[in-house]
Amino acid sequence: MTDTPKKKPLSPEEREGIYRKNFAYLLIDGILFMVALNGFMGSTTVIPDFIRQLTDSEILIGLAGNLFGIGFALPQLFIARYIVRSERKKWWFIGPNIPVRFVVLIFAGLVFLIGPNETDLILLVFFVAYGIAALGDGLVGVPWSDLVGTSLDSRWRARMFGLTSAITGVLMLAIAPVIALVLGENGPGFPYNYAILFGIAGIMFAVSILPVIFVKELPGGKAVDKLPPITEFLPDLGRVLKHDLPYRAMIIIRLLTALFLMAAPFYIGFATEKLGLTSDVAVPNLLAMQTAGGILGAMLYTWLGARSNARYLRMALLASAMLPASALLADSLGPFPLYFGFFMSGIGTTNLMFGYMNWIVGYANDDERPMYVGLNNTIFAIVSMITPIIAGTVAEQSGYEALFAIALVMTLAALAMMMRYIHDPKEELPVVVAVGD
């Protein structure tokens, strides 16, 4: 009986060729997904304005703006425990996506069927559909992170993230007039105008499944024969948090990020209610400013992120602080500072999550990556679940200005933590207790 011959290791040239093709497929997927999510369904523009026309509850408005991030991150630690049974993670990503990415398109159709008179029903259906879409994307979040971690190296990941944001930004600038036309006086009227935007987004979500099918997944962490029992899995998480200082600092930074992002859905309400802008002016114009900043930020990330992801993150947090600061100035100076703040927010927050993800994917080794990604995102989700209540209560009881002041303090605190504890993975000397120690 002869031994099964081992596969010949890939040469650097072969590996680079695979990276190049995977880069193209993942780039197409990312562009389609991000234009749909951040353009036609912008969580700081389109969705808060849509919900504001259905309810006066600031808590529900805040929840709507944060719901996708909560649903995306919440199930990831649970999924991380299960996917360790598989060496290949590609179909863990593709399989759940096939039904889930049609949910937004179905919601758009239901809005047309419900009509303008049943606003409470539209609100309920929105939260159900949007929640399912978010949780569905959360199910594939860890497999996607692992796929990106194994199928691209750090150079190609930074390029993919940066170009995804840059090209998405250019396309979002192009669609801003379309959004203005659909939401304007000559558009189809509420709620059909928003149903059209959601319908376009739903089509793009569905199409975005296709490119990833062609990604060639490279070997990552070794599959385990037995699923670790929860009595072992949870203590291992505790040991990682106790002994890995940079990773623990990154979790705190993500929590501070959740606390400053809780104000994001309220800037559009501030613009329409306090500054007197109409929806067809505020939504497309602020979206355009944020998008223009996002393009610049993506170009910076494509260049700087490939050299130093940590330095990019510091720059992004500093830029992100400009939005709450500018909103506070706009209260007395008029809309112009808010436009500037959205532009700076685009530079910072548009690519901030990409930067966080790239740091974690590069920092963790292949075997631990699912756990590191899942734990980080799940903790972020748990905090994000309460931030709409905090933000809505502050906005209702103390006003937008108090909320923006809190957001500014949280952003600066995150920046201070970043500068003190986070460096590029190759510079880290983490002390991590191995599983089972």
Confidence of residue 231 (pLDDT cuts 50, 70, 90): low
Polymer length in residues for the chain? 437
Mean pLDDT, rounded, for 333-338: 90
* Chain segment 236-290, per-residue pLDDT in tens: 677 777 788 898 999 999 999 989 988 988 998 899 888 888 877 888 888 788 8
Read off the pLDDT of residues 137-195 as tens digits, 9 standing for 90 and up. Answer: 877 777 887 888 888 887 888 888 888 888 888 888 888 889 889 988 888 999 999 99
Helices and strands (H, E) in the chain, number of each type: 20, 0
CA distance 104 to 195: 10
pLDDT over 90 (residue 63): no
Report the amino acid identity of residue 286: L
What's the pLDDT band for 430 if we cut at 50, 70, 90? very low
The mean of the pLDDT values for the chain is: 84
Unique residue bearing structure tokens 């192009």: 174
DSSP secondary structure letters along 74-86:
TTHHHHHHHHTT-
- The reported pLDDT for the residue numbered 1 is 43
* Residue the block writes with tokens 């509420």: 190
pLDDT at 292: 85
Per-residue model confidence (pLDDT) at position 163: 86
C-beta of residue 310 within 8 angstroms of C-beta of residue 359: yes
Please tell me the chain's helix, strand, coil percentages from 3-state DSSP, rounded to the nearest 5. 80, 0, 20
- Taking the domains of the chain in order of start, what are their residue ranges? 13-218+227-427
Element (H, E) at 315: helix 309-320
* Confidence label for 230 from pLDDT (cuts 50, 70 and 90): low
Among 247, 258, 256, residue whose Cα is nearest residue 376: 247
At 182-198, the pLDDT tens digits run: 988 888 999 999 999 99
Confidence tier at 8 by pLDDT (50, 70, 90): low
What does the pLDDT read at residue 87?
Answer: 67
**Residue 199: φ, ψ to 5°:** -65, -45
Q: Which two tokens stand for residue 332?
A: 């007395």
Mean pLDDT of 45-60: 89
Better pLDDT: 257 or 76? 257
Angle at 141 between CA 361 and CA 218, to 5 degrees: 55
CATH T-level topology, domain 13-218+227-427: Growth Hormone; Chain: A; (1.20.1250)
Radius of gyration of the chain from its Cα atoms, rounded to whole angstroms: 22
pLDDT value, residue 176: 83
CA distance 372 to 254: 13
| Joined tokens for residue 411 | 């952003």
On whether the CB atoms of residues 205 and 98 are closer than 8 A, the answer is no
**366-393 as b/e: b if 16+ CB within 10 A:** eebbbbbbbbbbbbbbebbbebbebbbe
Predicted local confidence at residue 223, as pLDDT: 53
Does residue 342 have a pLDDT over 50? yes
Q: Which range among 236-250, 330-344, 387-401 shows the weakest confidence by mean pLDDT?
A: 236-250
Residue owning tokens 């203005």: 180
Model confidence at 6, pLDDT cuts 50, 70, 90, reads low
Residue 115 has pLDDT above 70, yes or no: yes
Q: What pLDDT score does 205 carry? A: 93
24 vs 11, 88, 392, CA distance in Å?
20, 20, 41
* Stretch among 87-101, 125-139, 195-209, 387-401 having the lowest mean pLDDT: 87-101
